[in-house]
């Protein structure tokens, strides 16, 4: 039963983070890109995923280090190489338009 609870907890986390990431993408990232003259066109879902994943990592760090200190679930997340590689990719997706001057996705 404990595995089912962890699965449901993770699924709820993901859906909430995706919803918050969508709001951040529309109401924060879009005006910031436009203020730098970057058109927000193309595969905007890539930027949405990048913002959502950055928020997911920040949430995991705060929850894992301060709220659920002894949780095995968060310890396993922190030791996964893929977790950190996707985080690096998400940062690339969100911040590369500032250097290129356009949204390449």
pLDDT at residue 1, as a whole number? 59
68/50 Cα distance (integer angstroms): 25
Residue 23's nearest CA partner among 55, 59, 58 is 55
Average pLDDT by stretches of 10, the chain with 105 residues: 82 94 96 93 92 95 83 82 96 94 87
Which structure tokens are listed for 80? 């996964």
Predicted TM-score (pTM) of the model is 0.88
């Amino acid at each position: 039963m404990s595995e089912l609870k962890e699965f449901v907890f993770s699924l709820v986390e993901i859906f909430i983070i995706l919803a918050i990431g969508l709001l951040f993408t529309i109401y924060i990232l879009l005006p910031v890109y436009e203020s730098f003259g970057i058109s927000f066109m193309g595969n905007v879902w890539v930027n949405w995923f990048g913002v959502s994943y950055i928020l997911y990592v920040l949430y995991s760090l705060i929850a894992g280090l301060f709220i659920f200190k002894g949780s095995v679930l968060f310890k396993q997340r922190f030791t996964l190489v893929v977790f950190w590689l996707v985080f690096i990719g998400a940062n690339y997706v969100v911040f590369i338009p500032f250097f290129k001057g356009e949204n390449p996705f």
